[in-house]
Amino acid sequence: MSEQQTFDVVVIGAGPAGYHAAIRAAQLGLKTACIDAALGKDGKPALGGTCLRVGCIPSKALLDSSRQYWNMGHLFDQHGISFKDAKIDVATMVGRKDKIVKQFTGGIEMLFKANKVKAFFGFGTLHNGNVVKVKQHDGSEVELKGTNVILAAGSDSIELPFAKFDGDCIVDNVGALDFTEVPNRLAVIGAGVIGLELGSVWKRLGAEVTILEALPDFLAVADAEVSKTAAREFKKQGLDIRLGAKVSATETKGKGKKKEVLVTYSDAKGEQTLTVDKLLVAVGRRAATKGLLADDTGVKLNERGQIEVDAHCHTGVDGVWAIGDCVRGPMLAHKGFEEGIAVAELIAGLPGHVNFDTIPWVIYTEPEIAWVGKTEQQLKDEGVPYKVGSFPFAAVGRAVAMAEPVGFAKVIAHAESDRVLGLHLVGANVSELVHEGVLTMEFKGSADDLARICHAHPTMSEAIHDAAMAVDKRAIHKAN
């Protein structure tokens, strides 16, 4: 082993959380190293974590390709556009996705160089005394010591014991982003974010998609009205979502192109079977802590296997922090971004802070689903008095002009103070609109503030304006 190298900050993991922490720490003048073990499809080191390699960005690339294809068959005729023999070339579509991934993972390497973050490519293990031993891809080992160490190891897919990933027929997100052709029949276990997004991709391209969800309610994390509208639209699109479906066994049969998976599950009607060509297991992710911590570090894991941290992402061990998917809170890239920046700033003596109450959620289906803040159900459970205003996109000029009338905006405000407590959206491009709610809530604004802000006409954002006015029964474009 070579001589120990010392840094102000050593980050383990160069995903969204880790690379934000590393770059911000370096910007603040701290001598910073960042270690990542991941390899790209080409077998070369690829920075950027799950998000850039096999998560947010590649899934959105395929969602966009498949949306264009779907719209040709389902939207263009309304505009008077017709065409003959539309075809999808999966290799080109996946190749486009791979180029985007390469561009962005390479971009992180460039940003590290530009900010003087020293990158190490290999697997890091934290030892007592803030020492990190790195097993590099060439087999050599280096030892780093950080005044501060930030653990940003991310998460891995949860595997079900009766549906082990085989990289071919039974896959997680990694496999489902790389199918070489459109499967005739695809089953998905889990109607969560990945199941809905990747199920939508292959449905739009022509697969028969069945989603098996163990819980009796669809998308219970979202506002109930939003989930209801989304479920109705997904059904119209042909996504077969079966609720209360508990999978108990899978069996792979046949060989080569004839390989198929027999899925056994039970629901209210009893035991059922389903035969498919591909099975995507998307039942959640767990913190990737295997091999990360030597026995003597003092860093604790909680009952869910996540690294235990306080509200400021400190582990309780001097100079050791943890951020992103490997700690509590939603597994979202932008939550990791904010924690990474906050921890780097705290290390530099600045007042780093994350407001966990204003983290937006987006599900990139069609319609898109987006929200920030509390749902009505949560407020009821907490006994908080609230009032609601909602407005349908069907009454928004821009939405109708775009032939995208589905969905609505819903503003929830405190019954007495009028302070905005939540914004819930379902409709076209609402991923871009949700930030109006984030901003209002960050600045502790009221529904009246939103109602008095001038919104450009015609835009989709007018739904939020009218919804805010509807909170006090003064929406202009609908009966109150």
Q: What is Dmax (Cα atoms) for the chain?
A: 74
What's the CA gap between 263 and 187, in Å, rounded? Answer: 8
Applying CB under 6 A, does 326 fall inside the site for ligand NAD? no
Please list every residue from 16 through 45 that binds ligand FAD, using CB under 6 A: 16-18, 35-38
C-alpha span between 254 and 256 (Å, rounded): 7
Choose, by CB under 6 A, the member of 13, 40, 154, 190 that binds ligand NAD: 190
Q: Which does 213 bind (CB under 5 to 8 A by kind): ligand FAD, ligand NAD, none?
A: ligand NAD
Classify strands 285-287 and 155-157 as parallel, antiparallel or unpaired.
antiparallel
Contact present, 326 and 153 (Cβ < 8 Å): yes
Q: Could you give phi then psi for residue 215, rounded to 5 degrees?
A: -75, 155
User: How far is Cα 415 from Cα 413, in angstroms, rounded to an integer?
Assistant: 6
Determine the Cα–Cα distance for residues 355 and 43; give it in Å rounded to an integer.
38
Site for ligand FAD in 187-206 (CB under 6 A): 194
Contact status: 213 vs ligand NAD (CB under 6 A)? yes
Read out DSSP for 23-58?
Answer: HHHHHTT--EEEEE--B-TTSSB--SHHHHHHSHHH
Q: Which is nearer to ligand NAD, 191 or 209 (CB)?
A: 191
* DSSP codes joined into one string, 62-87: HHHHHHHHHHHHHTGGGGT---S---
Of 74, 312, 353, 457, which is the active-site residue? 457
Going residue by residue from 140 to 169, which x/- string records binding to ligand FAD, judged by CB under 6 A?
------------xxxx--------------
Using rule CB under 6 A, residue 213 touches ligand FAD:
no
| Closest CB to ligand FAD among residues 14, 247 | 14
| 333 annotated ligand binder | yes
Which listed range, 108-116, 133-141, 232-240, 330-338, lies at the site for ligand NAD (CB under 6 A)?
Answer: 330-338
| Active-site residue flag, 457 | yes
Closest CB to ligand FAD among residues 40, 389 = 40
Q: Is 336 in the site for ligand FAD (CB under 6 A)?
A: yes
Draw the binding track, 236-255, toward ligand NAD (x: CB under 6 A; -: no contact): -----------x--------
- CB contact set of 36 (below 8 Å; sequence gap of 6+): 13, 14, 15, 18, 45, 47, 49, 119, 120, 121
The encoded tokens of residue 141 equal 């080992």
The binding track of 225-244 with respect to ligand FAD, each residue x by CB under 6 A or -, is --------------------
Contacts with ligand NAD by CB under 6 A: the residue count is 24
Q: Angle, to 10 degrees, between the axis of helix 56-74 and the axis of helix 193-204?
A: 40
- Decide: is 34 part of the binding site for ligand NAD (CB under 6 A): no
Closest CA to 150 of 174, 173, 117, 101: 117
Strands (E), 191-334: 208-212, 240-242, 246-253, 260-267, 270-276, 278-281, 285-287, 320-322
- Binding residues (CB under 6 A) for ligand NAD: these are 160, 189-195, 197, 212-215, 247, 282-285, 330-332, 362-364
For the annotated catalytic residues, the residue numbers are: 457
- Binding residues (CB under 6 A) for ligand FAD: these are 12-18, 35-38, 49-51, 55-56, 59, 123-124, 152-155, 173, 194, 288, 291-292, 324-325, 331-334, 336
Annotated binding site for FAD: which residue ranges? 60, 124, 325, 331-334
Annotated binding site: which residue ranges? 60, 124, 190-197, 213, 284, 325, 331-334
